[in-house]
Amino acid sequence: MNYLDGIFEQHLKNENLGRIYTGHNEHIRRIYLDFNDSLQVQMKNTPSLPKPNLYVTTLSSEFSVFTFKAQGHYFIGISIGTIEALSRFFQFLYSQPYFDPDFGDITKERETALDLSLNPDYLLNYFYNYDLDISPNCLARKTFAIQVFFKAINYLLLHEYAHITHGHLDYLSRGKQNYFYYEKDTINVGNADIEKALEYDADSAATAHSLKDDTLFSMFGALAISEYNLKLNIKELNIAVYFLNKLTELTDIDFEDYAHKSHPISDQRTSTHIDVTSTYFMQRKDHFSFDVNSVIEYGIDVIFKLAALAYSKMFNKEPIDDKLIFFYSKQGLPYLNNVRSKWNTVRNELKSYAYVEIASENELLNGERLFDYEEIIEKKRSRDVDRSGEI
Ligand SMILES: [Zn+2]
């Protein structure tokens, strides 16, 4: 029995499969409703899309999100631990006065001293186990934090759904009736570039659907949306996606490992999210009564001037990760080209499994901004030395 089959047997088939969580948890009820809405939007024009059951498993402390098929039926699963930890994290974020200081009444908030530089393997587990009260005191900030949390969960589930509708699960299962796909970063020599290509594809779909499924769009149509409301929604989504990527990443991945990792590094995933968002709005710019460029730029500012700075303060790390710089440099390009070329091969096979049209050749990971990585890092180093006054 292989690793994934083992998890399926141990955690799902015998214990939790069929045992949907029925506790009185408002969060879980809302997750079901939100995700169901998202599925309805997607199925409206494509009625043949599969309708997976959503399982909330009682697996508690472990970060686990997965998709699987059993006897040819599709399922998406998420653990209560993931739900609780994400909810707590976003509330923690908005309880910190240095985060988003222009929003709500920060005089009510007090900074929590919390040593997050401990770097547990999965940061999410840290928030699941954290037992202080970390809710924001300002009601507006608390409400916003909960909105961001729901956006994050929905994004996660849409990502899983894309693994089904884009045929990834059927492609990987090679005709087996039962197959389990667990979102856990693994070192996978030989198959890693294919898995990464599928992850980028699922991410792109989750971003596109998060934008498309927006209730503002479906209720009023693009023309009726104010620039202010759209920016607010982009802010929720971008904070959600940035931290989701950061929190679910294994820490301290080095470049050598990247080639063998099943999942892309978090900053590169976020960067892809920005690219897809920009493309999405540029393609629809005539549908809006305002300049979409200002919305795109606002979304980028949310990531770099708000989310990345808060991450840097919380975890005592560089705001712009060296890894992100690397993957936009001459040195990093071959790694991305490997993933892109795998996509170009794999997508032809995927077509026979997919329920929707999938990205065309070279569409994943476009945008090449080339500079010399060593040069940039050297400049950064000398700047840091200047600042510290050692030279
Ligand atoms: Zn995935």
Q: What is the pLDDT of residues 332-390, one digit of tens each?
A: 888 888 888 888 889 999 998 998 888 877 666 665 556 777 887 788 778 766 665 55
* Regions of the chain with pLDDT less than 50: 4, 13-20, 391
pLDDT for res 223: 56
State the distance from the centre of ligand 1 to the C-alpha of 372, rounded, in angstroms.
31
State the distance from the centre of ligand 1 to the C-alpha of 202, rounded, in angstroms.
6
**205 close to 159: Cβ distance less than 8 angstroms:** yes
pLDDT for res 59: 64
State the distance from the centre of ligand 1 to the C-alpha of 97, rounded, in angstroms.
33
**Per the confidence metrics, is the pTM higher than 0.75?**
yes
State the distance from the centre of ligand 1 to the C-alpha of 129, rounded, in angstroms.
25
List CB-based neighbours of ion ligand 1 within 5 Å. Answer: 199, 202
pLDDT for res 391: 45
pLDDT for res 119: 56
pLDDT for res 157: 94
State the distance from the centre of ligand 1 to the C-alpha of 306, rounded, in angstroms.
26
State the distance from the centre of ligand 1 to the C-alpha of 270, rounded, in angstroms.
14
State the distance from the centre of ligand 1 to the C-alpha of 294, rounded, in angstroms.
31
